[in-house]
Amino acid sequence: MPILQAYNICHQFDNGDILFQQLSCAMTLPRVGLVGNNGVGKSVLAAILSGQQMPTSGTLNLPKSLAIYRQQPVQLLSSGLSVAQFLGKDQVLAALEQIAAGDYAEQTFDVVGEQWDLLERLTEQLRDLGLPPTPDFPCSRLSGGQLAILQLWQLFDSEAQLLILDEPSNHLDVHAKQWLLESMRAFNGAILLISHDRELLREMQEIWELSELGLQIFGGNYDMYAARQRTERQALARQLATVDKQKQQLAAQTQRSREKAQQRAAQGNKIRKEGGQPKILLDGKKDKASARTANQHKNVQLRQTHLQQKAQALKAREVPLKRQAFYLADSQSCSRNVISICNAVLPFGSQQPLTLQVAADDKVHLTGKNGCGKSTLLKILQGQLSFKVGELQLNTPLYYLDQHFSVIQPEMSILDNLMQCCQGMLITDARILLAGIGLRRDSVFCPAIRLSGGELMKLAMLIASHQAAQPFLLLDEPDNHLDLEAKILLAQALFNYRGGFILISHDTDFARAAGVSDN
């Protein structure tokens, strides 16, 4: 019995555009990975398969209990919930406090049940996970990695038959990612993993690839999938090369036949002028030559048509790749100090005094475990928080690009988002820039909520780098949500960027490729 089934699933936007259609799948193995480039609809498909969103058409057969992890926990950032409230432990903890204060009502004991050591156990579990060991700690003050761990911990602790995990390793440091791997291995239910993380995908038993060609199923883990993809691409390239060679040979053969026919026609005209043979004989030869030429031409046309159809059929098997690009506006390079921090202590996170000097063209990689205060430092630089003690001097405009893309208004069109955030930009320039990141024609009028995580990051990077004041960039995990190709392109764009930035990223390869000069 399949864990879940989908038959002829279609998703169509309100304006009639179709994201995907006639997708069918049956999850029969307990570990399945879903891969595909940014924008093909992986997260939408996950929402449909989880029952959170209805397909435009098609049928679903879902397990009795399932849960989904989404990439951006906006509700946790704005809800005001504490860790205990999110985990559903707040009532038991409150009852324990009431009993400790002398409330011996029967209903209070009923709430506690057998959980007399809940506070001690919960505090220890939070500490082991690298979370603040205080159950009443506000979720809104957790880092992106800590929020991810909290949500994932709740899911792995559930009785769900199926977990759908949408990019669960984004925001996680090395230790947290190892915890995620171990939790996935220990989970008794099934897991449908949507990810670009090759380490996680190697844990899968089957890979589903979503592309503009539909949904293709590959047996085995990511390495087996990647090997088969390489083999198929190489075979397809050889077949296309063979067809191209045959087309060239046919063209050369046709040219030779044309030249020979012209030579025979010239000889026939010469003989006719000299009058060496009867006219009726020459006319017969001419008719036969014309018939032979017409027949050869017909055969060539048939052969050309056959080769063209064969080439089109082979090219149709190639997964269409949207041209991906990142464009960062140029800024004036300068070596003057723009950020100076002296003996400063963060309000929370690491309590070690911090001293830092950053020049206008420095490219700094800010590293550390989840919760140590990396995002807190960037918020202090923006003036949202303050150091406990210490000195801070700023001599540059800053632009903060957060991991939740808060600069982008989801209900506003893509074009309006860019023009509103970049004062003075002309509509023609805006459309040229959007085309450069793969958003062309009428797609720029779609609401930003339709964009995938990777596409949102491209738009946000475009906005950040086209501010009139040419600010120093504060980049909080910009490589999250990006597929592998887009991550490489973003690193190249940052490497070539003449301005400076402070980068938070758990991917050291990405940071190194972006040209960071400090840690």
Nearest CA among 168, 503, 195 for reference residue 368: 503
Q: Which residues pair with 216 in a beta bridge?
A: 209
Could you tell me which of 331, 346, 338 has the C-alpha nearest to residue 385?
346
Whole-number pLDDT of residue 72:
60
pTM for the model stands at 0.61
Contacts 24+ apart (CB under 8 A), 302-305: 303/250, 304/247, 304/250
Helix, strand and coil in the chain, % to nearest 5 = 45, 20, 35
Amino acid 171 reads H
* Residue owning tokens 């980049």: 475
For residue 266, give every residue at least 6 positions away whose Cβ sits within 8 Å of its Cβ, in sequence order, or none.
Answer: none
188 has a pLDDT exceeding 90: yes
Q: In what order do the strands lie in the sheet with 363-366?
A: 363-366, 501-504, 472-476, 398-401
| pLDDT at position 291 over 70 | no
Identify the burial level of 303 via C-beta atoms within 10 angstroms of its C-beta, where 0-12 means exposed, 13-18 middle and 19 or more buried: middle
∠350-355-360 over CA atoms, to 5°? 120
Over residues 92-97, mean pLDDT = 87
| Rounded Cα gap, residues 518 and 500, in angstroms | 12
Query: 21, exposed or middle or buried, with CB in 10 Å at 0-12, 13-18, 19+?
Result: middle
pLDDT at 360 exceeding the cut of 90: no
Collect all residues with Cβ–Cβ distance below 8 Å to 254 and sequence separation of at least 6: 300
Does the pLDDT value for residue 513 go beyond 60?
Answer: yes
- Per mean pLDDT, which of 165-174, 406-415, 472-481 is the most reliable? 406-415
DSSP 196-261: S-HHHHTT-SEEEEEETTEEEEEES-HHHHHHHHHHHHHHHHHHHHHHHHHHHHHHHHHHHHHHHH
Among residues 38, 37, 47, 99, which one has the least CA distance to residue 68? 47
How far apart (Å, rounded) are the C-alpha atoms in residues 34 and 390?
48
Other Cβ atoms less than 10 A from the Cβ of 7: the count is 14
Residue 319 DSSP symbol: P
Burial readout 133-172 (b: 16 or more C-beta within 10 A, e: otherwise):
eebebebeebbbbbbbbbbbbebbeeebbbbbbbbbbbbb
Cβ-proximal residues to 480 (8 Å cutoff; 6+ apart), any chain? 71, 144, 167, 170, 171, 403, 453, 457
Report how far residue 110's alpha carbon sits from residue 102's, in angstroms, rounded to the nearest whole number: 15
d(CA 116, CA 94): 12
Residue given tokens 């009532």 in the structure block: 91
Residue 317 has pLDDT above 60, yes or no: no
319 pLDDT above the threshold of 60: no
Q: Report how far Cα 471 is from the mean position of its chain's Cα atoms.
A: 26
Place of tokens 């009867």: 278
In whole angstroms, what is the distance from residue 455 CA to residue 406 CA? 14
pLDDT digits (tens, 9 = 90+) for 423-467: 888 888 888 888 877 787 788 888 988 887 778 888 888 888 787
The partner residues of 9 in beta bridges, in order of sequence, read 23
Cβ atoms of 514 and 495 within 8 Å: the answer is yes
Cβ-contact 106, 113 below 8 angstroms? no
- If you average pLDDT over residues 483-501, what whole number do you get? 79
Mean pLDDT of the chain: 81
Token pair, residue 68, equals 């989904």
Whether the pLDDT of residue 269 is over 60: the answer is: yes
**Angstrom distance (rounded) from CA 509 to CA 505:** 10
Joined together, the tokens standing for residue 150 give 């909290």
Compute the distance between CA of residue 36 and CA of residue 4 in angstroms, rounded to an integer: 20
How high is the pLDDT of residue 272?
Answer: 58
> Of 241, 245, 195, which Cα lies nearest the Cα of 222?
195
- To the nearest 10 degrees (0 to 180), the angle between helices 144-156 and 174-186 is 10
More confident of the two residues 257 and 45: 45
CB of 240 closer than 8 Å to CB of 317: no
Say whether pLDDT at 309 is over 80.
no
**Per-residue model confidence as pLDDT tens digits over 363-383:** 899 888 777 888 888 888 888
Q: Tell me which range, 291-305, 325-339, 371-385, is most confidently predicted by mean pLDDT.
A: 371-385
